[in-house]
Structure 1
Amino acid sequence: MENKLKVAFYGSSLVSAYWNGAATYYRGIIKELSRLGYQVAFYEPDAYERQQHRDIPDPEWAKVVVYDNNEESAFKVLAEAAHADIVIKASGVGVFDELLEEQVLKLRKENQLVIFWDVDAPATLERMTNNPADPFRELVPQYDMVLTYGGGQPVIDAYTAFGAKRCIPVYNALDPETHHPVSEDARFACDLAFLGNRLPDREARVEEFFLKAAGKLPEQKFKIGGSGWGDKPMTENVEYVGHVYTKDHNAFNCTPKAVLNISRDSMAKMGFSPATRVFEAAGAGACIITDYWLGIDFFFEPGKEILVAASGDEVAEILRNLSVEEAKAIGEAAKERVLRSHTYEHRAKEVQKLFSAHFQLLNISEV
């Protein structure tokens, strides 16, 4: 059955990964939804210099509408949701979030499916828990469903407690067309590399898992990429390579002996929240060392497809004993696992089932 449904998606950015870790997640999901027949319009604000740091041109598989960073422009793009069958407001747009979250519900049309897609559920839930006056608390039960970037049963239970009609995790995954093995690049040659923006709820864990490990292994080379690390004190064996554009992610993942995944505090605490970069690195055949979080074995087999460390000391110990041959074997096993079980094609089909089930309940055909 060919799908003709129109989707209005309000998010941070589809075309820029600058200060926007969810970009590749949006791209992977939306590209595959397009292949399933959905017509997606993505509305993103001109904010945080994202348009000046684009990674991709406007794609063929979505209509991208960039609006000015003011309330009038926000209302203008909100009005376009009237033409959509499905309206999605993502968390963390960065500007006018409260306005967008409220208005997609106020402006909803009859039989529209209105979804809140939380790409940082642990942080949203913590915010609502700590602030009884948070305006989003009243809105949660009004959405037809809440989709989340991850979080497993703890996130489902927490959102249900806030009155969500339905909460379903849609995990990160791999787009094998964009993340895959490439030739090594001397810019990224090292023993261990980490890629991630400098954020308040990540920094202490970067100090523990990455910088502490580097301090214990002065004979090994470490590289860190992402925005905001320029003035961070680091040992001499650590090189800061700045913002790494998505076109360089494959080389960044393929070249080092191993790459490090470090969860943000809230995601490590909640569990079942693998970062997009884990799947991207696995797709490139990288040997991944990750900090421990509940649910790792749901995605990868520890010791065979991924290496797990509970501290910076353990990261250093793993690196001391990790041969190039062993690293390559682990990376290859990880690549085979994601291609088999964790691509965006898999995820989009899950989302399509959710959409279809909703409209079937309303006795509305998707054609």
Structure 2
Amino acid sequence: MRRVLISGAGIAGPTLAYWVRAAGFEPILVERAPLLRSGGYVIDFWGLGYTIAEQMGLLSEINRDGYHVQEFRIVDQAGQRLTGFGTGVFAELTSGRYVTLQRSHLSRLLYERINGRIEAVFGDEVVLVEEKVDCVEVSLKHGGKRRFDLLVGADGLHSAVRKLVFGQQVQFERYLGYAVAAFEARGYRPRDEDVYLIYGQPGRMVGRFTLRDDRTLFLLVFAHGAVLPETPGAQKRLLRAIYSGHGWECEQMLDELDRTEEFYFDAVSQIRMPNWSRGRVALVGDAAFCVSLLAGQGSALAMTSAYVLAGELAAGGDDHREAFARYEARLAHYIRRKQQGAQRFAGALAPRTRSGMIFRNLVARSFSVPGLARLAIGRDIADELELPDYHWPGVGREPCKRA
């Protein structure tokens, strides 16, 4: 049985491990972090990712853990509603196959589908890759040298596998001019159940979302140069400098930021590569084609790429090169379209000018008019890709159907 090392236990990695196992391979998962990550931001989940999750038997758990947001509301400095829209528009555009959930919860649910069925190594990482005639030899930081038939980097925007095999990130990263931070607070007041609140000034935005267990999630998006601080202390100081004195609940939010020990901070970037494979190594998800956090579809696209790669390996017999080529050919145009849509959306949450904010609010108000939302964003939400009907020798399961 051919062995596939998968680097990364976020979204793409566990999905790939599940379907690679279904394809008759032996997946081994390695994750740099000592445990599955928790916290982080929430995602809107629909489309092909939703269909793949259904085929994995996860919909009941996803809808149990998820949130069914009722309103997207933009507020002023006093917290009064400026505009907004009901999220029924998204339910209409996705035929009701739409849910909001924490990205870390989706990752955990995906991992539970393979837990105990495959070898998983936490607290280790790939530090050297050497391709041989009949295998790829990988050096793990703590686990020494091991040999595999294939290696797949599913390790995100800052992929170590991509750096080792394809080159430095700067060659492929396209910074979109924004950075993002996310963190949770417990016991925060006020609480607005099933409402996503947005407040902003030119070039900066705060989103507040109520979670279960008396938790509140904050998402901060702000315009910034490409050089960002690397340490948590410096990152918090930057956020305080940007948001202090800017009205609404910003001071209260910053007090909570000072108290939190775990928060997410990163650039809003895309990864653009001419190819997602080289020799016996391939990339999936954000490691291959990050569309950016603000695109809203990164997790679904990660699952889609993992599913298609596994399916092409299942169909390719012993020829991984042909399988990798078909994987790229099936998804390249689709991913480019999603990246282009994400570029258009990158500045919508935090417009850099007051005129941009006014336009954003007008667009949000138009979503309450029947038909206008479909005209404005229907193209970006719709999935034009049809998942192939793969044969999965490892499971007695019907193939995915079109979302």
Q: Same fold (TM over 0.5)?
A: no
Higher strand share: 2
TM-score, length of structure 2 as denominator length? 0.35
Structure with larger RCO (C-alpha < 8 A, sep 6+): 2
